[in-house]
Structure 1
Amino acid sequence: MKKAEVTRLYKFSDAQLIAVGNEKIAFMRRDLEAFALFGLNETQFAALETQIAAFSNLVTDIESSSNQAQISEKKEAKAEELRTAIRAVMTRVAQKYGADSARYKNYGVGVLSKQSDADLIITAKRVVRVGTDGLGDLASTGLTAAFLDNISLLNEQFEALLIEQKLKIGERDIQQEDRVEDGNAIYSLLVIYTQTGQDIWASKDVAKYNDYVIYNTVSGEAAVTAENPV
């Protein structure tokens, strides 16, 4: 059964979650005696603080995205090197047989710039295979085994970068999912603890009650309404 997509329970940023979490822990420590009556103590608050610290040290999606982009750029650069090498062979084949000949079409190159990554890999292998069989006839055009060996090498490098790109995409998805789950765990605990804080001060101290309010908005601040104007 496919795992359901993990979604955030909070609308504000991870950085805001970290800031809010540390702020609320400070208030909880201030009110330790009051929280003790509800079975909450320093051990639990310290554990939450440790969770928040670990969360703040996680690789961010910006970093993961940057790493993925760098691999993609390397892969695209290698793909262009490979296309250039293939074109160098096909120019010689066209010179020998003509671009409309059956021998030219046997290489199955088509329009290189429109080929998918997977198709480019197959095309490169086919060019090497067919080109190797026709080396004798194409020697007069300057085609050598070194040309074909270079295509094989570039193709191997391109395929390796393609695999690395796929792995980076997968890693990024996993990291993002883990980050959302960890953030949700912290937020859920904060809601429980701060709700207790609100209950403690609801009828005793408005200022302290407000210390435990978490606004689940994009800004992390109170939403602007007609009753609550800026």
Structure 2
Amino acid sequence: MKKDQVKRDYIMADAVLKQKADEFIALMDRDITEFTDRGYSPAKKTEFETFRNTVENFPSDEQLEAIKMDLTADKDRARSALEKSMRSIFNMAQNAFGQFSAKYKEFGNATISQQSDSELVRTATSTINTATKYLSELSDEGLTAAKITTLTSERATLDVAIDAQAKGISDRDLATEDRIEALNKLYQLLTKYAGIGQDIFYETDEAKYNDYLIYDTLDGLPDDSTPPPAPL
């Protein structure tokens, strides 16, 4: 069963949520007498700070996306190099055997630019094996053992780059989920202490009551009509 996508439980930028957590930690230190009476303890403060620090230390969505983009660029460069070498060998085989010959077809599907990454790797394997088989017959066309070795290396490089890109995407998705879950937990704690602070100072200290409002609305609750901003 497919796991539901993790979503943010709050309507504010991630950086604002973290800043609010910083503010509340300082506010509760200021009002430590009242909060201690409501069960706030050094252990609970440490819990709050731990989630705040966890959020702060997570790479941002932009950083995670940049890592994925770098891995994709590495894969694209590896593919381009492999395609170039394969085209040369296909051209050699075509010149030596003819485009419609059985020997030419042994080299694999020549429409390499239209193939997926995994298909290209499989085709490269056929090209390498066949080029090795017909090395002597293609030597007049410029094929050498060194060129086959280069092709073999380029195939391996692309194969590794494909795996690295897939892992990078998976790691990014997992890190994004972990980060959102940590942010949601931080928001839960923020909401809890906001409620306690408002309860403590309700009708006794308007300024302190307002300090514990999370959102800039009359009731301190999110405005459901406002779409969530892009995360920072």
**TM-score (normalizing by structure 1):** 0.88
2:145 maps to 145
Contact 2:11 2:222 in 1 (8 A): no
* Structure 2 CA distance for aligned equivalents of residues 108 and 88 of structure 1: 13
Point out the more displaced range, 99-108 or 173-182: 99-108
Structure 1: which amino acid aligns with 2:205? Answer: D
Q: Secondary structure at the match of 1:215?
A: coil
What is the distance in 1 between the residues matched to 2:58 and 2:130? 50
State the alpha-carbon separation in 2 of the partners of residues 186 and 171 from structure 1: 22
What's 1:40 paired with?
Answer: 40
User: SS in structure 1 opposite 2:76?
Assistant: helix
Are the counterparts in 1 of residues 54 and 182 from structure 2 also a CA contact under 8 Å? Answer: no
Contact 2:71 2:161 in 1 (8 A): yes
Deviates more, 1:93-102 or 1:187-196: 93-102
2:165 aligns with 165
Distance 1:224 1:94 in 2: 66
Equivalents in 2 of 1:213, 1:190: separation in Å? 10
Q: Any unmatched runs of 5+ in structure 1?
A: 226-230
SS at 2:5 equivalent: coil
Cα pair distance change 1:136/1:43, threshold 3 Å: closer
1:58-97 C-alpha deviation (Å, 9 max, x unpaired): 2222222111111111110111100000011111111112
Answer yes or no: is the 8 Å Cα contact 1:11–1:216 preserved in 2. Answer: no
Q: Is the 8 A contact 1:29 1:42 kept in 2?
A: no
Separation (CA, whole Å) in 1 of partners of 2:110 and 2:134: 19
TM-score by length of 2: 0.88
Q: Output the amino acid matched with 1:187.
A: Y
Displacement, 1:102? 2.9
- How many residue pairs match? The answer is 223
Q: CA deviation at 1:150?
A: 1.2
Partner of 1:228: none
Question: Aligned Cα RMSD in Å?
Answer: 2.3
Q: Which structure 2 residue ranges, 5 or more long, are not aligned?
A: 226-232
Counterparts of residues 179-218 of structure 1 (less than 5 Å): 179-215=179-215
- Corresponding letter in the other structure for 1:136: S
Superposed displacement of residue 47, structure 1 = 3.0
Describe the SS at the equivalent of 2:39.
coil
SS at match of 2:15: helix
